């Protein structure tokens, strides 16, 4: 099958299917693997569908706990302290994180008698460079480091 004819999102979902199948040492990719891939995609199709159906984090957590109880023995479940559902970060969340990181940077620069002002266009650039749907805002610090601090031609 030629995957280059699929959209980028479809290619990512297929790759995730393969990864999930390999993780469980399955020989074939099945519908369950595709479902897992679609759920994992933070900007995929499953989350909006669940929201339209009225699913909320509490009901998802309840369903997850019921499924865990059905699949695992109590001895194993007693070792799990808590179940946490992570939510995708929005662009607004990323902008706030950038503001926090830039404020910390301003404090460091102030000690060296330097200052920095970030235009909205620069923030948008950092969002594109420093946000990853899989890793969230983790790459943001590296993007600030590489794209702003290591650019000596600005100084």
| pLDDT tens, residue by residue, 7-41 | 777 777 778 778 877 877 888 887 777 777 766 66
β partners of residue 132: 136
Q: How far apart are CA 86 and CA 68, in angstroms?
A: 17
- Residue with the larger pLDDT of the pair 85 and 136: 136
Q: pLDDT confidence of 107, banded at 50, 70, 90?
A: very high
Q: Residue 154 corresponds to which tokens in the numbers above?
A: 């600005």
Mean pLDDT computed over 36-58 = 67
C-alpha to C-alpha distance for 62 and 85, rounded to whole angstroms: 11
The DSSP call for residue 81 is -
Which segments of the chain belong to CATH 1.10.8.60?
A: 91-154
Question: Can you give the pLDDT at residue 92?
Answer: 83
One of 1.10.8.60, 1.10.3370.10, 3.90.1170.50, 1.10.1740.10 is the CATH number of 91-154, namely 1.10.8.60
Neighbouring residues of 141: CB distance < 8 A, sequence distance ≥ 6: 101, 130
Element (H, E) at 106: helix 91-111
pLDDT at 44 over 70: no
Q: Is the pLDDT of residue 102 over 70?
A: yes
pLDDT at 113 over 80: yes
Mean pLDDT score across all residues of the chain: 77
Q: What is the pLDDT of residues 65-85, one digit of tens each?
A: 788 788 778 887 787 777 666
- Cα 46 to Cα 25: distance, rounded to the nearest angstrom: 25
């Amino acid at each position: 099958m030629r995957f280059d004819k699929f959209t980028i999102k479809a290619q990512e979902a297929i790759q995730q299917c393969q990864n999930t199948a390999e993780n469980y040492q399955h020989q074939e990719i099945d519908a369950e693997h595709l479902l897992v891939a679609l759920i994992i995609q933070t900007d995929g199709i499953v989350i909006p569908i669940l929201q339209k159906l009225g699913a909320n984090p509490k009901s998802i957590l309840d369903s997850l706990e019921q499924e865990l109880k059905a699949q695992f023995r109590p001895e194993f479940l007693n070792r799990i302290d808590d179940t946490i559902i992570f939510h995708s970060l929005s662009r607004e969340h990323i902008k706030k994180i950038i503001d926090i990181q830039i404020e910390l940077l301003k404090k460091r620069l102030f000690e060296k008698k330097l200052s920095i002002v970030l235009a909205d266009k620069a923030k948008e650039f950092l969002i594109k460079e420093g946000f990853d749907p899989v890793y969230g805002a983790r790459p943001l610090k590296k993007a600030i480091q590489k794209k702003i601090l290591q650019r000596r031609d600005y100084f």
